[in-house]
Amino acid sequence: MDYLDGLNPSQRAAVEQTEGPVMIVAGAGSGKTRVITYRVAHLIRKGVDPFNILVLTFTNKAAKEMRERIMKVVGTEAKNIWMGTFHSVFAKLLRVEAQKIGYPNNFTIYDTDDSKSLIRSILKEQQLDDKLYNANFVYNRISSSKNNLISPAEYLQNEHIQAEDFSSGRGKMGEIYQTYAQRCYKAGAMDFDDLLYKTNVLLREHPDVLYKYQNKFKYLMVDEYQDTNFSQYLIVKKLAANNENICVVGDDAQSIYAFRGANIQNILNFEKDYPDLKVFKLEQNYRSTQNIVNVANSIIANNKNQLKKSVFSENETGDKIKVSRAFSDNEEGKIVAESIAQEQALKGSKYKDFAILYRTNAQSRAMEESLRKLNVPYKIYGGLSFYQRKEIKDLIAYFRLTFNPNDEEAIKRVINYPRRGIGDTTIEKIIIAADQQNLTLWEIITNAHQYLDARSASAVGNFALMIQSFQVMTKTHSAYDTALHIAQHSTILKDLYSDKSIEGLSRYENIQELLNGIKEFSEREDLEEKGLDVFMQDVALLTNDDNDKNPNADTVSLMTIHSAKGLEFDNVFVVGLEENLFPSQMSLSSRIDLEEERRLFYVAITRAGKKLNLSYATSRYRWGTLTSCEPSRFIDEIDASYLELDFKPQLKGSGNPFFDDERSAWQQKETFSRPKPAPPQKTTSILPKAHVPSADFAPSDTSGLQVGMEVEHERFGFGKVINLEGSKPDVKATIFFKDLGQKQLLLKFAKLKIVK
């Protein structure tokens, strides 16, 4: 039991409570992963068969890390645990049971691009306006329906849904959904949402299968339970119904995925499903300084909808949280980049210890430009992952066809790539014939002489023979040998090698890297099945958090806060803290939405270990227009005793009418009343608003401007001219602005109003 000695009392109690329903409320940085892994190890040490344990996570990376930790305690037995993401675990289950719901066991898994490509084909065939029926919108609508377990038939029969579609001018949505589902079924394909939707169908329609897995999975553990949607919730509830040995781990304060179906009520109401529930709270934060933890607590205290906990830290008190104000998003980027460069130079910090977090991807531009100017290396996460690159998807499409020739999207992708004389007209004829004859595209292709002219039929027939030869090879060769053969004989390698451009060389190297990955996969000792089909399933189920994250690269990390969840850095910059940006404009009409935005801010804060920096701009270009910005209400909710402002705040009653605080009306014009600050001892922070020009503001003729004159600038406010230099038309004025300090402006562009 020595592995239990390193746990604190709360952690140990949660690990040792192995029977019955358990909820572990794990605050940020509280050692959640350690508790999950030790709890599983403890079950095995107590004699539970690893085959009877199911552990569900949200990323493959998390599952891999947990399995490795468990192996250190119990040895190779950990290989037998059913552990992985919801999608990977239930894809594995469906590989065994899919025929019961009419799918082949070798069904293809469509990624988001495949799904949207099929949707675009359906929209084109039905001659629908692709602006009204945007493929992204349609995909999200179908995804949401599946996550709420609404079938195409139920969608078409639901009066509320139909009324909503018709009122928005999208009355054909139900038919599109139905056609999409039929086409996937015909192609022997499931999309990501189907992996959970079809599992629910399987468990609902086949009680014998449900009984089988209820008895198999005697112990269930679910990580990040606050992120589960209705479909995931129902699967877990059904599987746990017999034994009720279910343990869910999560933090309601980090529930930030409502936009993709996550329902915070799953964790808030967990006790209603299990009245005998035992709750354990992990409240000690091992990651962050006391100041950072205190700031996070003061923010989340404003949310009404939460499980109460008292997170604390016994780490050093740490620096106060710096708040920076910039006059524009470009200046904000400059402030952040200079801070990173200075910290790295003075203290020898590694660049990988820094992260810049923002609300929207568009905010990365100003950060990137400033980092480049200072030669600070950086990496943006959330960009195009390795497996989403065209050349990689092309070769994988050949792999998919080899195992499932009915895969419609794979056929359309590579039937004429590399070029083999099968033009768009021929492809269109194949699609039409398949539709008319109610056959798959592959059935038409393998009987091309019946449906196409002799020349086209010959080219299509050769393509079919090539795919069939690949199918034969899979039965006698390793994953790597098969993959290399397909890459060579499809002529993809030759096509890319002949492109001598830098881009062509890069694409060729990417294919080589994919083949290297397959070779490494083929030689893994911890896998029983090493076929190319198994490799493809692993690739198809990669989550965003598993892609392109090299922890050893010494680069500053730039990412949205949603992408940062689960990560930690010594130094974190949270930028763009402005009303209508963070919190977002869409969140301001609802308390529930605003509370999710506040949870998102809480997640951003708790990524930081040693230093946290917050910043906002008083003006920002949005949709091509320079817009004045107000500091986010979230800054105002932080106890000011934990903050360090790197500018002088505007204080009411300062004696200077130009600089008295004039807090703008946005504080009083919220659509609902703001929660009262929790602790009575809280000190209110006073943040300056952007300068509002005088009612009669108009730029003056500055040809007679003299030192000592007082002026007004439309953004920088009021100031005094302290120096003039240069000759017309390039006269430069040095002006001291009371709150902002000294600035040098070119008069011909400055647009100053002379006050006196």
Q: Other C-beta atoms within 10 Å of 109: how many? A: 21
Report, as residue numbers or ranges, the catalytic residues.
32-33, 223-224, 254, 607
Beta bridge partners of 321: 643
Q: What's at 513, amino acid-wise? A: E
Cβ pair 116, 87 in contact under 8 A: no
Known binding residue 26? Answer is yes
- Cα torsion 689, 694, 697, 701 to 10°: value is -90
Q: What's at 568, amino acid-wise? A: E
Q: Other C-beta atoms within 10 Å of 86: how many? A: 23
Residue 286 corresponds to which tokens in the numbers above? 């091992």
The one-character DSSP state at 467 is H
User: Which residues contact residue 381 at a Cβ distance below 8 angstroms, ignoring those fewer than 6 apart?
Assistant: 548, 549, 557, 558, 559, 563
Using CA atoms, how far residue 335 sits from 187, 323, 324, 479, 613, in Å, is 53, 11, 8, 51, 11
Known binding residue 181? Answer is no
Residue 31 corresponds to which tokens in the numbers above? 């050692």
User: Which residues contact residue 344 at a Cβ distance below 8 angstroms, ignoring those fewer than 6 apart?
Assistant: 350, 351, 354, 376
Q: Other C-beta atoms within 10 Å of 116: how many? A: 18
Known binding residue 28? Answer is yes
Known binding residue 33? Answer is yes
Q: What is the distance between the alpha carbons of residues 673 and 712, in angstroms, rounded to a whole number?
A: 35
On the 0-12 / 13-18 / 19+ scale of CB atoms within 10 A, 409 is buried
For residue 405, cis peptide bond before it (omega within 30 degrees of 0) = no
Alpha helices in 475-555 (DSSP H): 479-489, 492-497, 502-522, 532-540
The one-character DSSP state at 738 is T
Cβ pair 208, 147 in contact under 8 A: no
Q: Other C-beta atoms within 10 Å of 427: how many? A: 17
**Look-up: residue for tokens 């059913």?**
82
Residue 621 corresponds to which tokens in the numbers above? 């270009």
Q: What is the distance between the alpha carbons of residues 627 and 753, in angstroms, rounded to a whole number?
A: 20
User: Which residues contact residue 395 at a Cβ distance below 8 angstroms, ignoring those fewer than 6 apart?
Assistant: 483, 486, 487, 490, 492, 511, 514
**Look-up: residue for tokens 């009306």?**
665
Binding residues for ATP: 26-33
Binding residues: 26-33
